Amino acid sequence: MMPPYLIRILCGLVLSCAVWDASYAQKLKIATEGANPPFSTINASGELQGFDVDIANAICAKMGAECVVAAQDFDGIIPALLAKKYDAVVASLNVTDDRKKVVAFTKPYYHSPSVFIVKKGTDAKAFTPAALAGKSVGVQSGTNHSAFLEDKYSRSNVRLYNTIADAYRDLAAGRVNFVLYDKLPVYDWLKSQEGSCCETVGGDQNDAAYFGSGVAIALRKGDADLLSKFNAAIDGIVADGAYAKINAKYFPFPIF
């Protein structure tokens, strides 16, 4: 029979290991962009806020996980995930075939087509590559939108911007003819004083090869257990009404 003191030592070791493993599994670092209102932005106090931030926090609460949400430049957000700087990315990432080659995606947590924006009064009746040949089109670099324009609108003057806010600014100032971006953040910008100059035109852009099948959370391919927990948490915040409350805070219509 094992002496009692050895039993106590072994039990202590097992308990400490179990606690350490559980603690490690429950501490997650989540990346978002921080420059894509109303989904993520940094307020005057230097704090992250927005739809993506609220969704990330709600998912973490549902999982019982301790999470830190941090801002990361969009064009480096997937490389940072793969480098294990973050455990997940909640940054309005469209699920595309190219992205699925390098990361794993949860089920979509919202849907948004893409749209062209112009200054009001612009004579723009068609949005084919031929119609926009020679026109300047602003777009955020490193996005599915920039890939779409560079592939399909190569005869246009495609101007790349670090943030969509920079592209909006040049559109409002007349330094670019068009901007292409997701419809939901565009909807939010058009309500602002700066965005009152402009409008969407040409209808929704839904090329699945570029704009995907929805917006989802990205994780590393090897994190299958964590992916399962995120999917269950998405279902959970939809079922308990937390998602609907966040949705209503930012949009007067459902986006799930």
pLDDT, one tens digit per residue, over 158-189 is 999 999 999 999 999 999 999 999 999 999 99
Model pLDDT for residues 206-246, shown as the tens digit of each residue: 888 888 889 999 999 999 999 999 999 999 999 999 999 99
In three-state form (DSSP H/G/I as H, E/B as E, the rest C), the secondary structure along the chain is CCCHHHHHHHHHHHHHHHHHHHHHHHEEEEEECCEECCCEEECCCCCEECHHHHHHHHHHHHHCCEEEEEECCHHHHHHHHHCCCCCEEEEEEECCHHHHCCCEECCCCECCCEEEEEECCCCCCCCCCCCCCCCEEEEECCCHHHHHHHHHCCCCEEEEECCHHHHHHHHHCCCCCEEEEEHHHHHHHHCCCHHHHEEEEEEEECCHHHHCCCEEEEECCCCHHHHHHHHHHHHHHHHCCHHHHHHHHHCCCCCC
Per-residue pLDDT at 8 exceeds 80: no
| Domains defined for the chain, CATH in brackets | 4-111+214-250 (3.40.190.10), 114-211 (3.40.190.10)
Share of the chain above pLDDT 90, in %: 78
Model pLDDT for residues 108-166, shown as the tens digit of each residue: 999 988 999 999 998 877 888 999 999 999 999 999 999 999 999 999 999 999 999 99
Please state the pTM of the whole predicted model. 0.79
Dihedral, CA of residue 182, residue 210, residue 157 and residue 203, to nearest 10? -50
- Mean pLDDT, rounded, for 98-107: 96
pLDDT at 246 (0 to 100)? 98
pLDDT at 7 (0 to 100)? 40
Angle at 91 between CA 58 and CA 240, to 5 degrees: 25
